[in-house]
Chains A and B, each alone.
Chain A
């Protein structure tokens, strides 16, 4: 389906900086193809991130988040070896979850 997310989580101070690069077209629904037909909107609508299985951050996105979305946030109290998982759902109902370990 879609390519895996690239997740990097590195300890910094008392927590971890998490950087996520998702692979998604994020079509706005405003573009037209070569034949002049409008390409329908196709975008991630919800995102959630969890530390060791417990949700720490969620987000709702519209069409104005850039293609192949990048997000960076800081999880407090995360230690090396902790598991970060990030999930998204898009407006087609497709979903994806990827995991990384805090370095």
Chain B
């Protein structure tokens, strides 16, 4: 094993190396502490609110640790949907990337630290950025700390 590979293996074992994967993990976006930070981190245009993005979330989430959300859009060409929680310590919860083999629709569960706006941001292949949002009230915050 080369010395650099050995060092890399050591760092990976210590949990200090980011996992390698299909595309580089969007660190700048995931570190973002506000919606603007995330938009900048993702390098996308400012999102425009649109009724073409359907976003479903509960009015009240009793347990902020597990909040079910879903988003879908019939708009053609949407390649990614990102979920942002405005008041979370780090705003970006996740980004889903769609091929033509799946419907542009996804359900998942997120953590919320406190009552906050939650956004589903749909990004098309040619750079259009649309979003829908909903305020979700949280009675028991789920981010720890």
B19 interface residue per 8 A CB criterion: yes
Per-residue contact bits, chain A 34-65, to B (CB 8 Å; 1 contact, 0 not):
00000110100110110100111111111111
B145 CB to nearest chain A CB (Å) = 3
- Beta-carbon contacts under 8 Å, B89-120 to A: 89-90, 92-103, 105-112
Q: Total interface residues on B, using CB and 8 Å?
A: 45
Q: Is B21 an interface residue (CB 8 A)?
A: yes
For A75, give the chain B residue with the smallest CB separation: B102
How many residue pairs between the two chains, A and B, have CB atoms under 8 Å in the bound complex? 136
Tell me the smallest distance from the CB of A26 to a CB of chain B, in Å.
8
A81 at the interface (CB under 8 A from B): no
Which residues from B are CB-within-8-Å of A59? 94-97
The closest CB in chain A to the CB of B9 belongs to A93
- Report B-chain residues with C-beta under 8 Å of the C-beta of A80: none
Expressed in whole angstroms, the Cα–Cα distance for A42 and B68 within the complex equals 21
* Residues of B with C-beta under 8 A to A63: 90, 111, 143
Considering the complex, give the chain A residue whose CB is closest to the CB of B83.
A64
Chain B CB within 10 Å — which of A48, A54, A73, A74 has the most? A73
Q: How far is the CA of A77 from the CA of B99 in the complex (A)?
A: 13
Contacts of A95 in B (CB 8 A): 19
A23 lies within 8 A of chain B by Cβ: no
Closest to B12 in A: A93
Find the A residue at minimum CB distance from B24.
A60
**Is the C-beta of A97 less than 8 angstroms from some C-beta in chain B?**
no
Q: Interface digits, B17-32 against A, CB 8 Å rule (1 contact, 0 not)? A: 1111111011000100
Query: Bound complex: CA of A62 vs CA of B143, how far in Å?
Result: 12
Residues of B within 8 A of A2 (CB): none
In the complex formed, the residue of A with least CB distance to B21 is A46
- A90 and B110 contact, CB distance less than 8 A: no
* A66 contacts B142, C-beta separation under 8 Å: yes
Q: Enumerate 11 A-B pairs (CB-CB under 8 Å) in ascending A order.
A: A28-B89, A30-B89, A30-B145, A45-B18, A64-B110, A66-B67, A66-B111, A71-B106, A72-B107, A73-B107, A91-B19
Binding site for B on A (CB under 8 A): 15, 26, 28, 30-32, 39-40, 42, 45-46, 48-49, 51, 54-67, 69-77, 89-93, 95
